[in-house]
Structure formats: C-alpha cells, structure tokens
Amino acid sequence: MLRAPASQRNTTFLEETGAQDGATFASMRPGAQTPEELETLFEDAFVTRDREALAQLFEDGAVLVAGDGLQEARGGEQAARLAAAMWEGDRTYVADPRRVLQARDTALVVAERAINVVRRGSDGCWRFAISLLSLDYTNTKEEQ
C-alpha cells in the first residue's frame, strides 16, 4: 500500500487529562498506531528531549544512523543517547513523511530528512527497525 501522508497532523495519540486546578493538558499515549504516527511521536520526543519516550519508539536491536554514517546506535537506549548528543548540538527533528509503502506489518517511510523501516509489533504498536537521519537537513532550533 502506497499512500501520501494525511494533510492534517495526526493527534489521535493525545489524551486529555485533568490537572488539579481544573485545566486540562494533552499527554502522549504510548505506542504508535500507524507509521505516520510513529514519525510524529519521534518528532515529539525530539522536541521535548524525552530520552525515555524516544527509546520506546525503537525495536530491540534497531539501528539509528545519523549524518554521514559515523554516528550509529543499536537499540532504543543507544538511540536515545545518540539523540541526546544531537540535542547537545542543538539539533531537532521535524516529522515530514512524504511516502509510506506498507506491506502487512512492515513499512518504508520516506521523509524529507529521513528514511525509516518500521514494523508493527505483536502489541499492535509501530516501532523503528532502521532509521537513517540526514544531519545535513536536521534542523537546528534557529532554523525552525
């Protein structure tokens, strides 16, 4: 199945919660229900610099390669450490999936700044198996 991303941002993963003062805020529900939602959760974890949330987006043994390939991480914990190093360089990630090619529980997500292979786990949640990020195009905060 080949599809273009939805024109509106996917916010189905947000849940309303009540605060003590009566105000409500949105929190992320764990797990992506679609490959596109996984991209959005990745962006959210990058922007908020949430290492734990980012680590949970990767399969055990997944590989994250950033830039020229010299920066490589395997598994969620190493991916979170690599992301933290990117944050130190004031880098962030903006989800922009251009094409999604899906065959059953595996999908190829081609974004402006990344190429990702993602898989749906036995729990129904999508996670990164392979993620190739281009640091040349990964935004710094000033570029946003």
- Residue of 94, 96, 92, 71 whose CA lies nearest to 140: 92
Residue 107, domain member (yes or no): yes
Total number of domains constituting the chain: 1
Residue 5, domain member (yes or no): no
Dump pLDDT digits (tens) for 50-100: 999 999 999 999 999 987 777 899 999 999 999 998 888 878 788 889 999
Residue 74, domain member (yes or no): yes
Residue 120, domain member (yes or no): yes
Residue 3, domain member (yes or no): no
**Confidence class of residue 137 from pLDDT cuts 50, 70 and 90?**
very low
Residue 144, domain member (yes or no): no
- Measured at the CA of 39, the angle between CA 37 and CA 42, to 5 degrees, comes to 110
- Measured at the CA of 30, the angle between CA 19 and CA 93, to 5 degrees, comes to 95
CATH number at residue 99: 3.10.450.50
pTM for this prediction: 0.75
- For 65, the domain range is 30-137
Dump pLDDT digits (tens) for 15-44: 444 545 555 445 555 689 999 999 999 999
Residue 12, domain member (yes or no): no
- Measured at the CA of 143, the angle between CA 134 and CA 94, to 5 degrees, comes to 50
Residue 115, domain member (yes or no): yes
Q: For residues 18-49, b (16+ Cβ closer than 10 Å) or e, as one string?
A: eeeeeeeeeebeebbbbbbbbbbbbbbbbeee
